[in-house]
Structure 1
Amino acid sequence: MEHILRPIYQERASHPSTLGVLMVEKGLKANINTDTYDVILLIIQKDIEQPWFVKHYTYDENKKAALHIVSESQLKEWILLGSNRKIFEWLLNGKVLFDRNEYMENLKTELREFPFYGRKLKMGLEFAKLIRRYVDGKTFFENNQSLDAFNHVVHSLHHLARLAVIENGFHPEVTVWQQVKQIEPEIFKLYEELVNSLESLDKRLELLFLASEFMIHSRTVIGISHLIDILSTKEYWSFQEMLEHSELAPYSVDLEVLLEYLIDKNFLRVVSMETKGLGVYHRYYKVKEKLF
């Protein structure tokens, strides 16, 4: 296998910008992590113009291989935001074919140890997504749009599950429910009840919103810890200042809903400042004193 595909990656491995090359094989069973391909070759490079480049190959008549050339910055973004969940499986379980200055080995170690600061940020992002889905689902439910409410609730439980996995020091895998069943069986049970219960859909949703509210409340402090750390560095913030802050920018799509949720729960308060318009005020946000 490796010797057949070696010409594909060998030239790139010798390039000075290449940090590492690894190979992921599909194995005997169908594997979602390889997107039906028999082999994935991942090449990580520093300072390249195109952040992600993919080529597909055929070998041994009916076998398929995919070559992914990824910039280091793109890889870090995937790891931070969890926007490419297969990447964790590739990095942790892939076979290293080339490793410049132990880059791949150090990266694997960092992923396994999952430094606490990285966990705080990822928990914050999952919590923001959780609140977005929960609030939207509840709004749909109150407007008698049960199927749309169901869709959002399923997603909110998924984010709650991922949050629980991260809180326990693990990276959420593609098979997150398998992890949650072991780590947080209460959340797994909620999901099972939503999907398998014989109750009417509206009754299931009603009960789930009540249970979810308790679980969200119990995780709010740890879920917003990263956000509050940043917001506490200034007396008050405009929304635009938050969007422009490098560590708050990843929250951007879900940030408005999260802020309103935290105001409602008395974690933040609104500071109003006069504008040139009579009776119109600028809206700023401030962390409440003696919060935790």
Structure 2
Amino acid sequence: MEDLLRPLYQERTSQQNTLGVLAIQKNEQNRAFTENFDSILLIIVKEAEEAVFIKHYVDWNEETASMYIVTEAQLKEWLLLGTNRKVIEWLYHGRILFDRNEYVQELKTEMRDFPFYGRKIKMTIEFAKLIKRYTDGKAFFNDAHFLDAYNHVMHSLHHLARLSVIENGFYPELTVWNQVRHIEPGIYKLYEELLTSDENLQKRLELLFLASEFLIHSRTERGADHLLTLMKEKEWWSISELLKHEEVMHYAVDIVTLMEYLIDRQLVHVVSVQTKGQGIFHRHYQVKKD
């Protein structure tokens, strides 16, 4: 692997723009981990014209490599939002070939220790996705669209699993169910029963909605803490003000459903503000006072 990779990254290590270089070798048990390439070369740079640049290589021995050049800003966005878990796994498990001022080592330490702020915002991102999927799944179930309900429930369980992992201070890996199996067997059991139960689909979904209700409700305040804490900065918020907030933007796509759920749980109150029109009010939102 070294003979193939060294010429690809060596020149870049002398450039101040290069922050770090990692190598990831194929896993015979799971070749998809490296996208079926023999090796992956992950190069982190301060700035670039493209946030992500990819090149593929093959040598005379038919060894293949995929080179990813990723900007620092893009990598940090993926780390925060969890939207490219494969690259995050490469960063976590990759072997450091070059590290300017221990930049990569510090990133790895941060992932392992998982700072509290990172947990808070990631938990609300996952919780918002969980509530959206769960709510939509229940609506499909009530309309007897059981296959659509099943699809949404599967996604909601996955977000619940990731939320549980984050809550326990770990970074969610690609094999999140293997993590959950040890961290919170109850959630793993729900997932297993949804997949393998002998009950018909309608009954399986019915039982799962009943069983998962408590698991979701018991996590509401922790799961929504990032949003609830932020909302205490003002007396009340309009939905447009929340959507424009630079941190809320990370889960803005799911915030309307999340807000309705928090109102239902009486953690957020609706405040009616008079408009110029007679009998018409703006609907603003306020966190319940302690």
Give the TM-score category using the shorter length. Answer: over 0.9
Letter in 2 for 1:241: E
Distance (Å, rounded) in 2 between the aligned partners of 1:64 and 1:280: 65
CA displacement 1:173-202 (0-9 Å, x = unmatched)? 111111111110000000111111111111
Distance (Å, rounded) in 1 between the aligned partners of 2:8 and 2:125: 37
- Alpha-carbon distance, 1:4 to partner: 2.3
Equivalence map 1:1-292=2 (5 Å): 1-290=1-290
Q: SS in structure 1 opposite 2:130?
A: helix
Distance (Å, rounded) in 1 between the aligned partners of 2:60 and 2:221: 54
CA contact (8 A) 1:79 1:87 kept: no
CA contact (8 A) 1:21 1:97 kept: yes
- Alpha-carbon distance, 1:278 to partner: 2.4
Distance (Å, rounded) in 1 between the aligned partners of 2:14 and 2:281: 60
CA displacement 1:79-128 (0-9 Å, x = unmatched)? 00000111232112111111111101111111111011111111110000
Letter in 2 for 1:44: I
Letter in 1 for 2:178: Q
Distance (Å, rounded) in 2 between the aligned partners of 1:192 and 1:254: 27
CA contact (8 A) 2:164 2:184 kept: yes
Q: Which stretches in structure 2 are left out of the alignment for 5+ residues?
A: none
- Alpha-carbon distance, 1:244 to partner: 1.3
Q: SS in structure 1 opposite 2:282?
A: strand
Q: SS in structure 2 opposite 1:272?
A: strand
TM-score by length of 1: 0.97
Distance (Å, rounded) in 1 between the aligned partners of 2:21 and 2:154: 37
Distance (Å, rounded) in 2 between the aligned partners of 1:82 and 1:229: 22
What is the total number of aligned residue pairs between the two structures? 290
- Alpha-carbon distance, 1:63 to partner: 2.5
Q: Which stretches in structure 1 are left out of the alignment for 5+ residues?
A: none
CA contact (8 A) 2:27 2:34 kept: no
Decide whether aligned partners of structure 1 residues 182 and 60 sit closer, same or farther in structure 2, where only a CA change above 3 A counts. Answer: farther
- Alpha-carbon distance, 1:277 to partner: 2.2
Distance (Å, rounded) in 1 between the aligned partners of 2:232 and 2:58: 54
Letter in 1 for 2:198: L
Q: Could you list the runs of 4 or more consecutive aligned residues of structure 1 that deviate by over 6 angstroms after TM superposition?
A: none
- Alpha-carbon distance, 1:11 to partner: 1.8
- Alpha-carbon distance, 1:247 to partner: 1.2
**Percent identity, aligned pairs only?**
59
Q: SS in structure 2 opposite 1:234?
A: coil
Q: SS in structure 1 opposite 2:266?
A: coil
Distance (Å, rounded) in 2 between the aligned partners of 1:84 and 1:226: 22
Q: SS in structure 1 opposite 2:218?
A: helix
CA displacement 1:15-67 (0-9 Å, x = unmatched)? 11110000000133233321111111011011222111111111244322111
CA contact (8 A) 2:45 2:72 kept: yes
Letter in 1 for 2:77: E
CA displacement 1:118-164 (0-9 Å, x = unmatched)? 11111110000000000000000011100000000000000000000
Letter in 2 for 1:186: G
TM-score by length of 2: 0.97
RMSD: 1.1
